[in-house]
A and B are shown apart, each in its own frame.
Chain A
């Protein structure tokens, strides 16, 4: 701290400090993005009381911490502050993140140590307000150091030839999560009324920021868990053209009780599509286990019927009383890519629909009980040969049972649609079925919907 600056509690702020120079905006030296609201506040008249409500409302519109900070920074400028910065503390490391200044979307990180003994440290520790006056003959930069622990940000604020620097604790639900630092340029000191208003605003902003922080912590946990349950990107299978779609019943989730998986087992390819009873997060957790069990079993057994038997034994002995329906395929494309043998086994699931390139369409009838109920079950395996342009569509019951104005979507409608898409390629097939089913629903709620199409065709190589 330099001797040119004085520090005082805000209550000692001199009256009449709000003398405003008419051209202060020219001193800003940067343009804040215009919002084109048509209601530009009269800054000369001082901040309006309504700003607390306006900024608070805008901030509660966002549950994302960074967006919430941006709302606050945009809201206080230029009506309350000529320059502003938000400091957030990381409760785990104690480190500080600084957001604000000329490029508010850029974040600067500094250590807690770097603010030792500074005004900012006191504000973060006590949550109390500090008003700092920088004398006019000072270039400002050094005087700002006690509140702004970043050279770049300090230099920006110094351009205003600041008179007052106001630091406010952001305290919500009993903890100080950071600070709001606002700077006013030459001729625009903070009045007592300004400081009182700023404190009100800080209190309101803190609640919004704290909610966003809590949401973000939860959301991070959820995202990490969800990432392991989201169907992975489809691999490139030589000689096959693959596509998939997934519409969970709970629309805001990316996961549900349906799943699909395509993976290499040795030099062969296995494809699985399944449906765990139930929907939402509980069901999704079970699909994660099922997928893993199948991948593990595939190390030892790749013939689809035998693979399903092994999986069933493991799944049935599990403490879970839930069951699962599955289709399991082994893909064996011919070396020339003109045909592909597909072995299929089914556990209590709708058989895949075979779409021949010439327009013939049939659902393959393959028996097999649901998995997870009886310990020892044999599953028959059926083999079909796909010629170039033929496709198999695997789907879950969210398709047939999609309920619209005129009843269930049903298998007949699906087969009729698919006959038009003979030879159209996997992506077009999935896109058409998805659209037709969702339009049939016409906004009604639905079960999880999963589609996996496998066509015999040249390597399209885009499913990475």
Chain B
């Protein structure tokens, strides 16, 4: 049975990716509804088809095959398909408590949160989903009005980790446990734990597992190290100015359309490393930029130059400067 499902999912994935590429919501919805009608579990449809296809969408943009708009169009179709699964999930009787599902502020990828909302609903939770980039005030209001048993926060962008931390503070101040997940946390729980999350979920299935095992009440998180917080806040305040200066001095071709993204992501990686004490986002971002440059036929030595420019422009930020000195690759990876 499981093998049959696996083969069925593989076939469906191909049809689903075709629907994404053709911006054809009708076809995409048909694929997932067909699977559900055949008795495939919602969580398998979500992870085996929708999330799997979405990873390829991201890869296509990264390789320069798709524009941002094409990526967004495909994501819109995937959202329509997720909503179709959610309609099915909403038929599940509610047997557990309430969960509030939110994207951190500046987190515009709503799809992972929609998927988490859907799998939790299918597991019997009464879920409320707050959409992309949730303002902290709105989150606070919902935490008090709803009084949920848990908060689930999706964060795929490193730049959204600072507001994720604020969400953790808001949630735990009200005693509400918080489970976090998404690409910004990487492949282990180091960053999630550093920020004070109650639990970390690697994927949709582990989010379901984590939600089932949360404590009823948690204590408010202790403050993060003062110096690191102060430096991250200062970097965030002067972000636009810093990004513009680094971009102006970086040797990258002014027509390289990912240049601005690369600089922004690198600065965000520095924020993430400061707040979590985990330096890995910095070399990982360098690696990501290398891939973007390679896909667009740009000079790989630009990586070393970006590191140099960052060290120059961040010389007044001692912790950030030292993180870049130790963690940014000195030469382009082969």
Contact = CB atoms under 8 A, between A and B. Distances in A.
Nearest to A250: B137
A456 to B, nearest CB: 13
A241 interface: yes
Interface string A408-428: 000000000000110111111
Interface stretch (A59-67, A142-150, A198-206): A59-67
Contact of A427 (B24, B80, B87, B141): B80
Q: Binding site of B, secondary structure by majority: helix, strand, loop or mixed?
A: helix
Contacts of A235: none
B21 interface: no
Interface in A77-94: none
B124 interface: no
B149 interface: yes
Contacts of B87: 462, 464
- Of the candidates A105, A431, A434, A438, the one having the most CB atoms from chain B within 10 angstroms of its own CB is A431
Q: Binding site of A, secondary structure by majority: helix, strand, loop or mixed?
A: loop
Interface of A: 33-35, 37, 58, 61-67, 70-71, 73-74, 104-105, 215, 219, 223, 241, 243, 251-253, 405, 420-421, 423-428, 431-432, 434-435, 438, 442, 457-464
A146 B154 CA distance: 48
Given A64-B147, A219-B145, A251-B137, A424 B132 contact: no
B92 interface: no
A108 to B, nearest CB: 16
15 contacts: A35-B218, A58-B219, A58-B220, A61-B174, A61-B175, A61-B220, A62-B176, A67-B217, A251-B135, A252-B135, A425-B77, A460-B25, A462-B80, A462-B81, A464-B83
A425 B108 contact: no
Given A33-B217, A442-B240, A65 B147 contact: yes
Given A67-B147, A420-B67, 9 more contacts: A35-B215, A63-B174, A70-B216, A74-B175, A424-B70, A426-B76, A427-B80, A462-B84, A462-B87
Given A37-B219, A105-B216, A458-B24, A58 B175 contact: yes
Interface string B171-208: 00111100000000000000000000000000000000
B181 to A, nearest CB: 20
A458 B26 contact: yes
A34 B137 contact: no
Interface of B: 23-26, 29, 67-70, 72-73, 75-77, 79-81, 83-84, 87, 97, 108, 110, 132-133, 135, 137-138, 140-141, 143-147, 149, 173-176, 215-220, 240
Contact of B73 (A34, A424, A460): A424
Contacts of B67: 420
Given A61-B175, A251-B137, A435-B132, A74 B216 contact: yes
Contacts of A67: 147, 174-176, 217
B217 A423 contact: no
